[in-house]
Structure formats: structure tokens, C-alpha cells
């Protein structure tokens, strides 16, 4: 199996297992394995050192191999949504060039600490999980522009969120948020704060100030 133009697309082939010959394609840049019935991925995925985009969405994965942290050229997109993941290997903290990560529709109750090491991340989608807390170390994702946390179990956010000075959008829809840190009001580039379907929030005084400066606040 040769990668045409650096891309291998096996979307929705009902393969059940990843073909072994995939792991010999060490020059592949885009690998799409979405919407099959994979329950596991071989550690040999770590041999694909040229990979820039990886799509493992819509499968049945319960874990990822540590070797995924070897994909240090992964920089464009990593799709892990709609699986059965409850944790990520710490080795993924080495994905220092990755800009987009989607871990939505999984079984996370704890926010994966390795994400906080992904210093180039621009967009994070972690919707439809069971996450109860965002750690202070989220400040390490210093280039983040979009943070999507809809339909989790968050009651608050850390004050450290205010260190994400490039943040444009925060989506907290459907969480049992009770209180928001004042540091959100100091985010200089915030354009949208989505609080729809949040019925537990004690509205902070500074929400009006956010709107006056042009930030869209949905409640």
C-alpha cells in the first residue's frame, strides 16, 4: 500500500483492524483511519515520523500506545473523538507542534495532563465527556484560541485560564458551572463566551463589561 501524495485514506472501510502494511509507510503525512471498528492501534504507529495529520475518530479505542508520543511532526490535526478513551498516554505531551486536538465524545473524567504540555495547540475540543476539573497547568497551552468544553461536569474553571492571552472562544454549554474566575474578564482577545444551558451559574458582575467591549456572551 503506497501513500498517494503523502496521504492514506481508509475512512469508513469497516476494517476492524489496521492493515499491517500501513506501518511501513514511514513517509505518509496524512493518515485517515476514521469510522472503522478499530479497538486498538499498534505501537508501530510511532514509526510514522513524517505524519502531520492523524484521524482515529469514530472507532472503539479504549487506549492509545505510548508510541504515539513519537509522532513529533504531528502538527495539523489529531482526531480522537467518538471512541472509548478515558485517558491519554503521558508521552503525548511530546507533541509540541500539534495545533488541533479533538478528544470529544469519549469517557474522560479527568482532564489529560499531557495536553497541558502541547504548547502549540490552537484549538482544543473536549466536549461530551465527564470532565470535572481543568488543572491550573492548562496555562501551559499558551497559544490556545478556542476551548470547547460543552457537556461535561465542570463546576468551575481555574484562575489560570486568564493566562491564555490568545483565547478567543470558550464554550461551556451544558456544564453545572457555579462560578467563573475573574481572570476571564481580563482575556484581551476573548470574542465569545458561551454559557447556554448553564443553570447553576452565579453571574459575575464583569459579564456586562465583556459585552460592552464587544465579546459575545450567550446565556
Instruction: For the chain, 219 residues long, give each residue's pLDDT as a single digit of tens.
Output: 555 579 999 999 999 899 999 999 999 999 999 999 999 999 999 999 999 999 999 999 999 999 999 999 999 999 999 999 999 999 999 999 999 999 999 999 999 999 999 999 999 999 999 999 999 999 999 999 999 999 999 999 999 999 999 999 999 999 999 999 999 999 999 999 999 999 999 899 999 999 999 999 999
- Global pTM reads 0.96
| CB-CB contact of 157 with 184 (8 Å) | yes
CATH code of 7-131, in short, is 3.80.10.10
DSSP letters for 20-78: GGGGG-TT-SEEE--SS--S---GGGGG-TT--EEE--SS--S---GGGGG-TT--SEE
Specify the residue for cell string 454559557: 195
Residues 96-100: contacts with CB under 8 Å, at least 24 apart: 96/72, 96/120, 97/72, 97/73, 98/74, 99/75, 99/123, 100/76
- For residue 195, what is its C-alpha cell? 454559557
DSSP letters for the chain: -PPBTTEEE-TT---SS--GGGGG-TT-SEEE--SS--S---GGGGG-TT--EEE--SS--S---GGGGG-TT--SEEE--SS--S---GGGGG-TT--EEE--SS--SS--GGGGG-TT--EEE--SS------GGGGG-TT--EEE--SS--S---GGGGG-TT--EEE-TT-------GGGGG-TT--EEE-TT--S----TTHHHHHHTT-EEE-
Specify the residue for cell string 498517494: 4
Amino acid at each position: 500500500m503506497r501513500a498517494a501524495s503523502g496521504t492514506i485514506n481508509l475512512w469508513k472501510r469497516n476494517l476492524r483492524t489496521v492493515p499491517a502494511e500501513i506501518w511501513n509507510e514511514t513517509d505518509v503525512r496524512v493518515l485517515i483511519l476514521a469510522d472503522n471498528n478499530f479497538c486498538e492501534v499498534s505501537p508501530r504507529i510511532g514509526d510514522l515520523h513524517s505524519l502531520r495529520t492523524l484521524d482515529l475518530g469514530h472507532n472503539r479505542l479504549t487506549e492509545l500506545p505510548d508510541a504515539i508520543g513519537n509522532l513529533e511532526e504531528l502538527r495539523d490535526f489529531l482526531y480522537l473523538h467518538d471512541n472509548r478513551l478515558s485517558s491519554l498516554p503521558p508521552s503525548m505531551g511530546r507533541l509540541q507542534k500539534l495545533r488541533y486536538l479533538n478528544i470529544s465524545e469519549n469517557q474522560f473524567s479527568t482532564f489529560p495532563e499531557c495536553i497541558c504540555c502541547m504548547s502549540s495547540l490552537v484549538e482544543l475540543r473536549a466536549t461530551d465527556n465527564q470532565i470535572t476539573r481543568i488543572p491550573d497547568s492548562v496555562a501551559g497551552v499558551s497559544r490556545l484560541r478556542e476551548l470547547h468544553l460543552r457537556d461535561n461536569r465542570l463546576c468551575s474553571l481555574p484562575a489560570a485560564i486568564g493566562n491564555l492571552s490568545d483565547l478567543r472562544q470558550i464554550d461551556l454549554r451544558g456544564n453545572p458551572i457555579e462560578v467563573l474566575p475573574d481572570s476571564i474578564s481580563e482575556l484581551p482577545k476573548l470574542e465569545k463566551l458561551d454559557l447556554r444551558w448553564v443553570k447553576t451559574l452565579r453571574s459575575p458582575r464583569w459579564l456586562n463589561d465583556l459585552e460592552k467591549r464587544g465579546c459575545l456572551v450567550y446565556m
